Each structure stands twice: as structure tokens, then as C-alpha cells.
A and B are shown apart, each in its own frame.
Chain A
Amino acid sequence: GENVGLHLPTLSVQEGDNSIINCAYSNSASDYFIWYKQESGKGPQFIIDIRSNMDKRQGQRVTVLLNKTVKHLSLQIAATQPGDSAVYFCAENKDTGRRALTFGSGTRLQVQP
């Protein structure tokens, strides 16, 4: 089933490098997308969001790119720091009424000092 797996894909980067985390979403009707960071034993922490009428949005050290043609979302983290090490999830709002979110399977980011 969806999101079943024993191993999260892992991205390992050196401190100071840029990181790119990718996500494929499933519903072309989704109108809102969010990236979350989750540290071990904690709830998800909001990073950045983007609406479907945009293709790029920038925050502090982070950029989200949305490609609706191929249903692809990416998170770029500039000058990655050890504190960025966590699991990153993309989420899409499939249900425009309830605003419920569907989460992607996640990517573990490991930053090597």
C-alpha cells in the first residue's frame, strides 16, 4: 500500500552544500503543497508551502519548486547545516473541502560535518 516501506530514502550531503529533496505527488487537482521537517520523536515542523498557481517560492535558505506538468515538487536547502538533518515530507491537499493533507513517503537528510 501507499507509504509502506522499511527504509526511507536517504540523502547524505556535506555541511555547506546545497540539498535538493524531491517528491512526486499523485493528484493533479491538488491545490496546495507543503514541505515539513520531522526530527526523531517529534511532530512535523512547517518549512514552506506553495499554491498550485505558483511554480516557485523562496524562504530563508529554502526554495520550493512545483512542476505541475509532471506532478513534481522539490525542496532546495541552501548551505545545509547539521541542524537540517531530519526526515523531510512533502504533503498535498487533495481534498479541497476538508483541507486534509496526504503525506509523501519521506526522505532522510543526513548532513555530514
Chain B
Amino acid sequence: GAVVSQHPSRVICKSGTSVKIECRSLDFQATTMFWYRQFPKQSLMLMATSNEGSKATYEQGVEKDKFLINHASLTLSTLTVTSAHPEDSSFYICSARRASGGNEQFFGPGTRLTVL
């Protein structure tokens, strides 16, 4: 149990285009999902907290108009990178917490974004 999937696993896009990444909790409901970004040989950096049915909470320095987050259901959160540029190339990872409670976060496999 507690499986989180991400789609796509990797995406290559041209500069200026928008890319949507999906994060799904497959066998549990998640009121809260988190989006992280990881550059090569670095740690995971929290970008935003996605709350079902309400606006996301963004970390300092993360542009909310560039990284649009939608958490429309208890099993799906999406991250849209708008007008992507090469510096947005990174590994994007989501995690989810059970709606039923508990501290543990279950992580997705990540999405590798490459912007040309």
C-alpha cells in the first residue's frame, strides 16, 4: 500500500512551453501533497505544499505564477511549469500524506524535466 505515481517520468520540451506533471496517490487518499525539486548532486528542496480544495502554499523564492499547482481531488495534484526555461531543468518529486493521518510521506518516483 501507499504507492505514489508520477507522470510523465521524463519530459523534454522547448523553452517557452508549459509542462504539466501529475502526482497520484494510487491506493490512499491524500489531503496534502508536497512538491520538491532536486538539481544534480543536490538535496531535495521543498517548492510548495498542495492542499486539496484550497490554494497551495509556496516556499520563499518559488514563483507561484510560474509553478502552478492544482490539487482538485484527494488522489491527484498537478504541477505546471509555465514558460519553461533551461534553468527549470530538474528532477521534480512529489510526496503525499495520508488523509487518515500519520507523519509519513510517501514519495513518487520523480519526473525528469529537460528544457532545451
Establish whether residues A43 and B107, one from each chain, have CB atoms under 8 Å apart when the complex forms: yes
Report if A44-B42 is in contact (Cβ < 8 Å); known contacts: A32-B103, A100-B34, A101-B34. no
Establish whether residues B109 and A42, one from each chain, have CB atoms under 8 Å apart when the complex forms: yes
Establish whether residues A99 and B97, one from each chain, have CB atoms under 8 Å apart when the complex forms: yes
Compute how far the CA of A100 lies from the CA of B32 in the bound complex, rounded to whole angstroms: 10
CB distance from B42 to the nearest CB of A (A): 6
The SS class assigned to the B binding surface is strand
Residue of B nearest to A93 (CB): B103
Determine the chain A residues whose CB is within 8 A of the CB of B49 once the complex forms: 98, 100
Tell me the count of chain A residues lying within 8 A, CB to CB, of chain B: 28
Establish whether residues B108 and A101, one from each chain, have CB atoms under 8 Å apart when the complex forms: no
Compute how far the CA of A46 lies from the CA of B1 in the bound complex, rounded to whole angstroms: 13
Compute how far the CA of A49 lies from the CA of B106 in the bound complex, rounded to whole angstroms: 13
Report if A43-B109 is in contact (Cβ < 8 Å); known contacts: A7-B41, A8-B41, A32-B103. yes
5 smallest beta-carbon distances between A and B, as pairs: A43-B107, A3-B43, A103-B43, A103-B44, A43-B110
> Which residues on A are within 8 Å of B, measured CB to CB?
3-8, 32, 34, 36, 41-46, 49, 51, 89, 93, 98-106
